[in-house]
Structure 1
Amino acid sequence: MISREELYTLVWAGPGKAAAAHLGVSDSYLCRVCTALDVPRPGRGWWVLRAAGTAPPPPPLPPARPGLPSHWRKGGQGLPPIKPFYRRDIWSFPPRDGSHPLVHIARVIFGRAGDGRDRKHLSTRSLNAIDLTISAEMLESALSFANGLFNAFEARGHTVRIEPRSGFIRPALENWSRPPDRTSHIPLALWSPVAPTIATISGVPVGLAILEISKEVEMRYMGNGKFDRASSTRLVDGITWTEWQRAPAGRLKLVAYSPHHPAPWRREWIEARRNSLGRMAQAIVGELEAEAPTLPHAGYFLRRPGGGPVV
């Protein structure tokens, strides 16, 4: 495994092919690793200019930015995949506009996503998708909240990462503000991520999931497989009926949970009105900071040097 600082030293110590051979990768892949870790590297012709004594000095290594990988290992086991951080259709360069990198990637992933099994929420099988159960109409509101929340965690020294192949679990979650009444017999068919989104708070991992709340709505069959609200004044030709269905309510719920089996802990924050959760980001981080050392799974991670799950 190599850190950003070690990679920076390596690529400025000798030509790229030598550095790539040292890591056991190709020159082009080394460039991708540098891009993913936000490590500047010599441009074309720099080593020729250096031999002539006219090369400009190496640029300094910029400070690590929230959400970007800080280490790389060939094969990537136990580390976030670097592919999304060098894919050209997502990055021309890592975001410097205040967007958290995971949110920057999520905007692309969910912008291309289709409907899930419930035909109400977006669904993707991307390894790099944050835990977001959301309708297309509420996508931007959810991303805005995620951006504020993730940046609030990072500003206080707590990393937020997607953790594939890490040993962490993501339990089944519901998106109700209160238990359903008329649709309780219908099984949940919510999308769930391939990998959990984890905030590490003073060494204690906490899973984070953002879900759009569902509500029960009486719908009338309008023909051609389509439904409309039963309260609609539209006339229906032919056979019709009404039934209760679930529909996105346009409000968000944040669920924080234990990602370590078998510690059953969960905490929820629910919007009373649309976009009200975003104003609570700093307070939520503060509450989790205070609670993290007392969580059921905290002792396991705090006893281990450097923390981290069993894999």
Structure 2
Amino acid sequence: MAGVASPPPPLPPAKPGFPRVWKKATVSSTPIKPIYRHLRQLKDSADEVGHGKHWLVRQSEGIFRAAKPDADGTHLVARNNNAADLTCSEEVLESALSLANALFNSFENRGHSVQTAGGSAFIRPTLNNLAKPILHTERIPMKLWVPRAPTVAMVLDVPIGLAIIEINEEVMMRYVGYGKFARASDVKSVNGITWTEWQRIPSGRFKVIAYSPYFRAPWQQEWIETRRNSLIRTVDSIVEQLESAAPALPQANLSHRVQ
């Protein structure tokens, strides 16, 4: 009819990670920000997805090989938003990258993208590198590297943060001179002044941590290695568990709306 506007065309389907519902903001609300607006999306060709080296692992390799150890020498510190969330010592970097590659490819094989989320609305909570409660080293502060951009898998449109962290264990260490310590059980004798003390040192074993990247919806789950390199054989099971749990996770509702 003349003078009557045509109905507006339907909106395209919402992309994963973008809000699907909006409510008028109050004065104190923050403006709406698409969750994945600033994600770095470096895609492999279709025939490479889920096979070979995941693009995020390739991207992270050079970053971590150039990274320097923290002040305690327990883990590498990457100063780059594009690095995957790995916390490990230099000695086991290859194992950490292999575990990340297997895990990320397992997600991709089941249709779930894995990306770094710099500049998004996601947060990366403070995590620890322990497998059991501290008994002897309470005096030592926990000062782990925290990535500037969390690593996030989109599982059935639900964001799940991912971190791979080398476990530190409490060990009785003996001072052997020149500013160095060794496991007390391995030291037979020392010339000069010596003493023993409990320290937390890298164990070579890892844990995979899945968490909610929303401050308002805390949630976390861990898978811990009891033997070195055992987690890499369970990545498919980890992904299947997260896939089954995703619709009921605390962040599931927040991923579909912005209050």
TMscore range, shorter length: 0.7 to 0.9
Among 132, 141, 166, the residue aligned to 2:86: 132
Letter of the 2:216 partner, please give it. P
Counterpart of 2:177? 223
Among 30, 39, 51, the residue aligned to 1:80: 39
Alpha-carbon separation, structure 1, partners of 2:76 and 2:163:
14
Q: Deviations over 1:288-310 (max 9, x none)?
A: 011011011211223x4xxxx79
- For the aligned residue pairs, the C-alpha RMSD in angstroms reads 2.2
Counterpart of 1:257? 211
Letter of the 1:197 partner, please give it. T
Counterpart of 1:195? 149
Q: How much identity, in percent, do the aligned residues show?
A: 52
Alpha-carbon separation, structure 2, partners of 1:190 and 1:141:
19
Contact 1:133 1:211 in 2 (8 A): yes
Alignment TM-score, normalising by the size of structure 2: 0.80
Letter of the 1:192 partner, please give it. V
Alpha-carbon separation, structure 1, partners of 2:72 and 2:209:
20
The DSSP-based 3-state class of the residue aligned with 2:244 is: helix
Gaps of 5+ in 2: 1-35
The DSSP-based 3-state class of the residue aligned with 2:255 is: helix
Deviation of 1:106 (Å)? 1.2
Among 237, 240, 245, the residue aligned to 1:283: 237
The DSSP-based 3-state class of the residue aligned with 2:186 is: coil
Alpha-carbon separation, structure 2, partners of 1:163 and 1:153:
16
Letter of the 1:228 partner, please give it. A
Contact 2:73 2:89 in 1 (8 A): no
Counterpart of 1:117? 71
Alpha-carbon separation, structure 1, partners of 2:216 and 2:202:
31
Alpha-carbon separation, structure 1, partners of 2:187 and 2:172:
14
Letter of the 2:39 partner, please give it. P
Contact 1:208 1:256 in 2 (8 A): yes
Counterpart of 1:214? 168
Letter of the 1:103 partner, please give it. V
Contact 1:145 1:277 in 2 (8 A): yes
Counterpart of 1:240? 194
Contact 1:120 1:248 in 2 (8 A): yes
Letter of the 2:223 partner, please give it. W
Gaps of 5+ in 1: 1-76, 86-92
Q: Which has the higher contact order (CA 8 A, sep 6+)?
A: 2
Contact 1:117 1:190 in 2 (8 A): no
Deviation of 1:229 (Å)? 1.3
Alpha-carbon separation, structure 1, partners of 2:114 and 2:75:
24
Letter of the 2:244 partner, please give it. A
Contact 1:78 1:164 in 2 (8 A): no
Alpha-carbon separation, structure 2, partners of 1:252 and 1:274:
8
Aligned residues: 221
Q: Deviations over 1:207-231 (max 9, x none)?
A: 0000001101111111111111112
